[in-house]
Structure 1
Amino acid sequence: MTDSAITHPVPYYSQYESAVMIPDLIAGTRTAGDDPLWLKSGADSREEYAFWAPRMCGVACLRMALDYWGHPVPPSVPLVRELCDAGAYVRDGDTVKGLIYRPFAEHTQARWGIAAQVEPDLTTEALHRHLGGGGLALISVHKTIRHPETTEPPSRGGHLVLAVGATEEALLIHNPSGLPDSSQEFARVPWARLAAFYAGRGVLLG
């Protein structure tokens, strides 16, 4: 670990058009289909948006990276369709396999010229070095990382966040399903707590 603080000024995108709804979605009092801004996603129907929104954490991370590096940012659902065509998501009825790292990385590099390296064994030291070199990273964590200090997750991985900075004490993430004014933008996850959530894999960007 280095002692210097790193913060990349990455714009934040939620996987939901109405990021303020996330506490209600977590509580189960509302569903993605209730999102009043669903049309902004580019979906053809409210049902299409409701299907994909809970599954688009990786899409949100990609949109953040595209914006940060000055590329046009497609709406979320057309982008997920593009990633389906690239093999990064595989839909079978009501189930979806993905985000699949290798086709995602290959498509990202070919389509936008953003270097994308799959890392099945990504140490925190390597992650910190990559951030220090100007890069970003999609990393696999448990969704309860929105409460890093108070939660003991049942497993690691299953949700993608974008690593956007680091200090000696903590990793800074943009969490597509984080809590408003708390754990969405530049959310601080102490390195000592990260291991409980982090699956040790991801995609290095840039």
Structure 2
Amino acid sequence: MTLCTTCQLPSLTQFASPELVGPIVYEGHDRADDPAWRTSGAVTLADYARWCSHLCGMACLRMALGPDAPSLFELRDGALKYGGYTEDTEGTIRGLIYAPFAAYVRDVHGVDATVHRHLALDEIPALLDAGRTVMVSVHFEIRRPERPAPGRGGHLVLITGRTADGGLHFHNSSGIDARTRTAELSRSQFEPFFAGRGVSLGRPGGAPTTR
């Protein structure tokens, strides 16, 4: 039996053209050669190309907010103002930084956001059963779970539901096809990629929970 109250959330990619995700992440396709870049909300192609590979967290938020969510780069701009991302003197982009991101989500979007600096897989089902979605840090190679996990963390996916036997439904904004963008993995498949941290999100417009 599948237990999922949020599976109707949109499945979105952090790159403007879903069909280019695979070529970009595995074949060196130029991110600036994305004909749909304007749909991201970026003002310039250069800004899109520089930032799109860093916006898995904004894609997760956009999915969690539902079909009326702002554009990817509007969310980026809001998170930047709160310090959810930083840029050093060399221009290196750092983030997503969870605490200021959560403050941004609560203040601007009215959605309860709780930072989980230490999150066990066993804690996620209760969050889902409470009607929350959960952004978690995983290795980006979770899109190819049949291979050994090369590490943990560095990429964010949105967990939307669970199965009765402990499997997890999640949306992956850097999935390379429909199966890996809206995915389901068993606990044992998911765990080797999981970094043990994340941010849980309440329903848009819902009452806040105690943190």
TM over 0.5: yes
Which residue number in structure 2 is paired with residue 80 of structure 1?
Answer: 76
**Distance in 1 separating the partners of 2:26 and 2:195:** 25
Please show how residues 35-184 of structure 1 align to structure 2 within 5 Å.
Answer: 35-67=34-66, 72-92=68-88, 93-148=90-145, 150-167=146-163, 168-184=165-181
**Corresponding letter in the other structure for 1:18:** S
**Distance in 2 separating the partners of 1:57 and 1:29:** 18
Please show how residues 1-12 of structure 1 align to structure 2 within 5 Å.
Answer: 5-8=3-6, 9-12=8-11
Give TM-score scaled by structure 2 length: 0.89
**Distance in 2 separating the partners of 1:29 and 1:143:** 16
Q: Is the 8 A contact 1:89 1:96 kept in 2?
A: yes
**Distance in 2 separating the partners of 1:202 and 1:156:** 13
Please show how residues 187-202 of structure 1 align to structure 2 within 5 Å.
Answer: 187-202=183-198
Aligned length: 199
Note closer, same or farther for the CA distance 1:4–1:19 as it changes in structure 2 (3 Å cut).
closer
Which residue number in structure 1 is paired with residue 16 of structure 2?
Answer: 17
Q: Deviations over 1:134-182 (max 9, x none)?
A: 110100000000011x121221000000001111141111000012122
**Distance in 2 separating the partners of 1:77 and 1:4:** 33
Give TM-score scaled by structure 1 length: 0.91
**Distance in 1 separating the partners of 2:26 and 2:199:** 30
**Corresponding letter in the other structure for 1:77:** F
Q: After TM superposition, give the deviation of residue 44 of structure 1 in Å.
A: 2.0
**Distance in 1 separating the partners of 2:62 and 2:178:** 20
Q: Is the 8 A contact 1:7 1:166 kept in 2?
A: no
Which residue number in structure 2 is paired with residue 28 of structure 1?
Answer: 27
Unaligned segments of structure 2, at least 5 residues: 203-211
Aligned CA RMSD, in angstroms, stands at 1.5
Residue aligned with 2:175, SS = coil
